[in-house]
Structure 1
Amino acid sequence: MLDLTNTEELQKIDELDALGTTENLLKQCEAAWNEATSLSVPKIENITNIVFCGMGASMYGALVLKSVLGRNLPYPIEIVSDYYLPDYAGKNTLVVLTSYSGTTEEVLSCATDAKSKETQIVVITKGGPLAEFAKDNNLPAYIFNPVLNPNNVPRLGTGYTVLGMIGLLNKVGVIDIEEKEITDALVRMHDKFEDIKAQALKDSEIFINKIPIVFASEHLSGNALILRNQFNETSKTFSSFYLIPDLNHHLMEGLQFPENAPLQFIVLDSPNYSDKIKKRINLTEQVVNQNKYPVHEFMTSGQTEYDDILETIFYGSFLTLYLGLYYKQNPGTNPWVDWFKKELSA
């Protein structure tokens, strides 16, 4: 087994220094939050719904935002990972265009669609054609310089896409979050970050040669999808996620066959979950165990929901990074995605 404390051996695999970028993830979150909340942008008014457009890691901010605000969201929200906006999008729709690279063809298509429908628009990107679109149309935008993600791998730029989006939407008045809540949560992360990293290193061995199945609920629902994606891209391993309570209506009957499948369940747990969800998690774990599958819990501190989200992002980032290194895979590359894009454009 690879010694993950051997820096020289790791550098042979981790050619883009994904580990170094992940170790800077807290600094990246702080930088993105400070930059986005310092923007001088006009308030957005008279909207009745929001459509988020993005693909893969660029959509992480929307997933987190939808989960943490939950039923307190003042508008209906739709997340679009496709080429076109829904027909109802119009002058009272806010379209949030997110592309880390600024070159994502689906998001650029939605940008053209949004302009033709005369929707209101905000943009999050590091540059490219999407940044030019924002400048040409004088749009509120967070155009970041990813100095704390020097390899420019979008999934390693979670701080920009998550904290940047929350900060921008708060700044334009679409959501109402006390900035101090997130600022304080980021301060507390300094006392937790190294412990989270160490736990992720230890826990990564649990998932070797296993199929990770992620469970979560309520404010951590977005984190479940993020962790699934990180297992896919960073660890190069198949994974899936399910949300409680929905999974209690179907998944539990699907654990019998095939027998002895190499499944490893992980529950993103929190003291902040409602009592109903806590009871469901306990019972769900019993069902999984009775079907002879192991369950691992990642329990957050529960200080606030924002602490929970940040802790889970950091944990998942390190966990999947270490697992990918165990498999001797470069965690910063996407060879099959790159091949697909090349063939698609041919």
Structure 2
Amino acid sequence: MTVEVFDPHDMMRETSNIVNDVEESIDADLDLERLDFDNILICGMGGSAIGGDIVADCLLAHSDRTIKVIRFPELPNWASSDSLVLVSSYSGNTAETLSVYDQAVKRGCKVISISSGGKLYEKSMADGVPFVQVKSGLQPRNAVGNTIGYLFNVIASVGGPDIRDEVRDSIPALKKYVSTLTPMDSKPRAIAGEISGSLPIIYSSESLAAIAGRWRAQFNENSKLIAFDGHIPDMNHGDITGIIGNNDIRVKPIILVEDVQSKLMRNVVNDTISVLKGRGLRPYVIRIPGKTVFEREMRAMMLGDFISLHLAFFKDIDPSDVSSISLLKKLLSWKMGKKKGRRSRK
């Protein structure tokens, strides 16, 4: 099937390479020393934070130390010299992330930077902070594969939980899966056709909460489409009333669930679907298979990424354009820099 699409920056290719990027970065040689630490903070925004979410989810059952993802320009008060702080910014110029970096260094945290360069590289070199170089030239949200692979690699290299073999074992199946998503007549385009023209709200079980957030963000950025996300069963204590009671907007609930669930969770999901259907809605239910947490989250993420591209193609818009975000970043960077300058003069 031949379909003409507007993709001037080849987002399809970049998206198709995400699994390859995980494979490459998880096997990269890192010159890092083993460290003693009581907790791990992964600091970043956007795609960098999503990568942190996936890594934290995958390590949950393997770690005896707290792993927390920080999407904020300030470190929590409990972060200390006993904390391993992984500062991740693809561009190296994200204002919020640079702010967290400065605080982590000041507090004496064990800091490692992950970036393609920018101010984060300059600061790390000046402060003697270990720096992990990510390949440049990608849309930041498409660098998530590098972020995921390097985070796994860094954490294992410094003495944290190591599931790199588990991740490597999942790569062949994920590559095969991605090959089914790239044709223009594939599943993502069909799902995008169901969603197009609606207000998608992505709900998931708690185990796929990070992926529901990724879908929402990709619909926002790639598709230029407003979308929201939430969790089951929490949605049944609020959201469901708003969805059912709104007749003015074409709401499309999308429900992401793991293929294998507990009996309790399966009953909750099925009852939720029944109530939505009983009120005239047509929720799109997507069941995600996979042998491990990593494989399931990657499968779900890749499917959503490709759906978001097809939603953009249906609208004949450039999925790579995020000019509004770039403008806001420039403004925020200037204001935060100005505020820091005032502090330093006091």
Same fold (TM over 0.5): yes
Change in 2 beyond 3 A, CA 1:255/1:17: same
From 40, 43, 63, the equivalent of 2:31 is 40
1:231 counterpart = 2:231: no
SS at match of 1:86: coil
- Matched with 2:250 is 262
- Matched with 1:288 is 276
SS at match of 1:142: strand
SS at match of 2:27: helix
- Matched with 1:95 is 85
1:151-170 to structure 2, matched below 5 A, reads: 152-170=138-156
From 298, 301, 304, the equivalent of 1:313 is 301
The answer on whether the counterparts of 1:68 and 1:218 sit within 8 Å (CA) in structure 2 is no
Q: Percent identity?
A: 25
Tell me the distance in 1 between the aligned counterparts of 2:7 and 2:212.
25
SS at match of 2:252: strand
Tell me the distance in 2 between the aligned counterparts of 1:121 and 1:277.
39
From 175, 183, 188, the equivalent of 2:168 is 183
1:110 counterpart = 2:95: no
From 157, 164, 170, the equivalent of 1:171 is 157
In the TM superposition, what is the alpha-carbon distance from 1:264 to its structure 2 partner?
1.0
Tell me the distance in 1 between the aligned counterparts of 2:151 and 2:267.
33
Tell me the distance in 1 between the aligned counterparts of 2:80 and 2:90.
25
Greater relative contact order (CA < 8 Å, ≥ 6 in sequence): 1
In the TM superposition, what is the alpha-carbon distance from 1:260 to its structure 2 partner?
4.5
Per-residue Cα deviation, 1:264-311 (whole angstroms, up to 9, x for no partner): 111222124333222221112112222222211222223222211111
Per-residue Cα deviation, 1:161-206 (whole angstroms, up to 9, x for no partner): 22221222122222232x2211110111232222234211221111
Change in 2 beyond 3 A, CA 1:292/1:83: same
Amino acid at match of 1:174: G
The answer on whether the counterparts of 2:95 and 2:329 sit within 8 Å (CA) in structure 1 is no
The answer on whether the counterparts of 1:32 and 1:163 sit within 8 Å (CA) in structure 2 is yes
Structure-2-length-normalised TM-score: 0.89
Tell me the distance in 2 between the aligned counterparts of 1:96 and 1:343.
25
Structure 1 gaps of 5+ residues are: none
Change in 2 beyond 3 A, CA 1:140/1:174: farther
In the TM superposition, what is the alpha-carbon distance from 1:87 to its structure 2 partner?
1.8
- Matched with 2:338 is none
1:1-346 to structure 2, matched below 5 A, reads: 5-6=2-3, 9-10=4-5, 13-35=6-28, 38-45=29-36, 47-70=37-60, 73-146=63-136, 150=137, 152-177=138-163, 179-197=164-182, 198-344=186-332, 345=334
Change in 2 beyond 3 A, CA 1:324/1:202: same
Tell me the distance in 2 between the aligned counterparts of 1:272 and 1:72.
20
Q: Identify which range, 116-125 or 130-139, moves more after superposition.
A: 130-139
The answer on whether the counterparts of 1:69 and 1:219 sit within 8 Å (CA) in structure 2 is no
Tell me the distance in 2 between the aligned counterparts of 1:254 and 1:208.
21
SS at match of 1:201: helix
Change in 2 beyond 3 A, CA 1:73/1:275: farther
Tell me the distance in 1 between the aligned counterparts of 2:96 and 2:286.
34
Tell me the distance in 1 between the aligned counterparts of 2:207 and 2:159.
21
Tell me the distance in 1 between the aligned counterparts of 2:129 and 2:146.
18
Change in 2 beyond 3 A, CA 1:23/1:5: farther
Amino acid at match of 1:112: D
Change in 2 beyond 3 A, CA 1:299/1:42: same
Tell me the distance in 2 between the aligned counterparts of 1:158 and 1:59.
9
Equivalences, count: 331
Q: What is the CA RMSD across the aligned residues, in angstroms? A: 2.0
Change in 2 beyond 3 A, CA 1:317/1:256: closer
The answer on whether the counterparts of 2:243 and 2:251 sit within 8 Å (CA) in structure 1 is no
